[in-house]
Amino acid sequence: MSLKKQYLKSKPVCKVTFSMDKEAVAGAGKVDLLGEFNNWNTAEPVSMKKLKNGTFKVTIDLPSETEFQFKYLLDGEKWINDDSADKYVNSGLGAEENSVVSL
């Protein structure tokens, strides 16, 4: 798993690339990215593209100088965090945590 950040000089936006290698997805056929940036909307998730090597990847534009909680949803069933997140916070659901990307 990894997060890559590319800040734009022309506007207050950061292009964030989220990626999960095939070992991390444990054979999942579909990986969605959900978080505060899309109101955790499972009906309209940010779908990640599967590459030939089995890695899933997506790049989205997020406003700079903000933080967003997020998680990955594998095959619509299993939620997992990103092990390269900037930090983790309690999700408000028991002891569950969410990944956080800080921009």
- pLDDT tens, residue by residue, 14-34: 999 999 998 999 889 999 999
| Strand-pair partners of 65 | none
Query: Is the pLDDT confidence value at 94 over 90?
Result: no
Query: Which pLDDT score, from 0 to 100, does residue 26 have?
Result: 85
Helix/strand/coil (H/E/C) assignment for every residue in 23-87 = HHHCCCCCEEEEEHHHCCCCCCCEECEECCCCCEEEEEEEECCCEEEEEEEECCCEEECCCCCCE
- pLDDT tens, residue by residue, 39-70: 999 899 999 999 999 999 999 999 999 999 99
Query: Is the pLDDT confidence value at 93 over 90?
Result: no
| Strand-pair partners of 71 | 34
Give 12's DSSP letter.
S
Assess if CATH 3.30.70.270 describes domain 2-102.
no
Query: Is the pLDDT confidence value at 95 over 90?
Result: no
